[in-house]
Amino acid sequence: MSTTNPARPAEQPQTVPVRPTRSPMSRFVVPRPLRPGQGSTLLRHLFWVAVAAAVVYFVSYGIDPFRNYQLATVAAYLCVTAGLTMLTGLNGQLSLGHGALMACGAYTVALAQNEFSDRDLFGPWRLPISLALGVLVAALAGALIGVCAARLRGPYLAGVTLAVALVVPAFTTRFADLFNADQGLSVYVDSPPAGLGPYFPPERWQAWIAIGAAMVSLLVVANLVNSRFGRSFKAVRDDEVAAKLVGIHVARTQVLAFVVSAACAGLGGGVLAVISQSVSPSVFGLTLSLNLLLAIVLGGLGSLFGAAWGALLLVLLPYLTTEVTRGFDLSPRLANKLEGNLPLAIFGLTLIVVMLVAPGGIQEAFRALGRTVRRRWRRT
């Protein structure tokens, strides 16, 4: 697809003045001027991450265990969507296989945690080491896929990564002694530290772990995006030929983006294994991979804010659609037909409507709203 002419003319105003040939991959772009950072990017990001973590810390005290569990799940997905929105939104590589990369992280964490407890190795260092191993394994898998992906474009990349998403059950079944096939493994997770008191809900502890991981993931991605590499990512996405001409090693840039986003996926998968205390292949199937893609596009492709919206939607949309339909009082006959199906229909419709109303995703819609409000403000 890389050299076929774009089937449709560009429909949005361009902010980059000179564009001799637009690669079709550049349609992934929501164009936005680059803004050079002021001061130390890392410090500024660290500050905001600390603020966010503090806010979340206090909020986690105010909500009940189930909300904490939902919060933890949102944070686990946020680890992944942050990396994926960088890969797809900023580097233009489409992946339908991030569920499999999450599985790499999750299974590594499961095996490591269980190995530690089998050998009676205890201590607060266990979980960070397990998670680090999970990130490492996912990053290695990501490097492998990334090398192949660097040669592929558009739907061909989608096809290969879709096939990657489907191999997880094959592996767990083939190596059933290690992975226990479809049934999966339970994950040994320590209870919250004794210092927090005997009635400290485990869900709140898990939420803290998940949020910590999400902040690490966001920090890494935010800094990478604002570095030299981030600019190369966008250059490669917008025009590969031009990027090559200015001396960017295209393949290397693409592999780097894939590895970082795979590492984020591994972290998210590992956190998910911890908060659910179990791993099994069907958790990480094609549905999850497609949901991740849904999340970043609905949220707003290419923006970390959008990634957060997306992670939130992944958890809240199914929950809310079920709650809404639960309110209806149905006869048994009708209930047998509608139960389960009605929430899915609403979910599907919501996706379609959001995409039609806000093609740039929720984040873009809010930004547009903000612009309108500011303009009005100035006028009055």
CB atoms within 10 A of CB 35: 7
Residue number, 115 or 182, with CB nearest to another protein = 182
Residues 6+ apart with CB under 8 A from 80: 98, 102, 264, 265, 267, 268, 269, 292, 311
In angstroms, what is the minimal distance from the CB of 264 to another protein? 14
Binding mask 275-314 for another protein (x = CB under 8 A): -xxx-xxxx-xxxx-x--xx--xx--xxxxxxxxx-xx--
Answer yes or no whether residue 351 interacts with another protein by CB under 8 A: yes
Interacting residue with another protein among 16, 65, 128, 178 (CB under 8 A): 65
Looking at residues 91 to 130 of the shown chain, list those that interact with another protein (rule: CB under 8 A). 94
Residues 6+ apart with CB under 8 A from 230: 90, 224
Residue number, 7 or 18, with CB nearest to another protein = 7
Looking at residues 193 to 232 of the shown chain, list those that interact with another protein (rule: CB under 8 A). 198-203, 211, 215, 218, 222, 225-226, 230
14 vs 82: CA distance, rounded Å: 25
Looking at residues 67 to 96 of the shown chain, list those that interact with another protein (rule: CB under 8 A). 67, 69-71, 73-74, 88, 94
Interacting residue with another protein among 42, 49, 143, 216 (CB under 8 A): 49
What sections of the chain are H helices per DSSP? 41-62, 65-85, 98-118, 126-149, 154-166, 168-174, 176-179, 202-225, 228-238, 240-245, 250-276, 286-299, 304-326, 332-338, 341-357, 361-379
229 vs 237: CA distance, rounded Å: 12
Q: How far is CA 212 from the centre of its chain?
A: 15
Interacting residue with another protein among 40, 64, 328, 368 (CB under 8 A): 64
In angstroms, what is the minimal distance from the CB of 167 to another protein? 5
Answer yes or no whether residue 336 interacts with another protein by CB under 8 A: yes
Residue carrying structure tokens 């190596």: 175
Looking at residues 139 to 198 of the shown chain, list those that interact with another protein (rule: CB under 8 A). 148, 151-156, 158-160, 162-164, 166-167, 169-171, 173-174, 176, 181-184, 186, 198
Looking at residues 2 to 31 of the shown chain, list those that interact with another protein (rule: CB under 8 A). 2-9, 11-12, 24, 27-30
74 vs 86: CA distance, rounded Å: 18
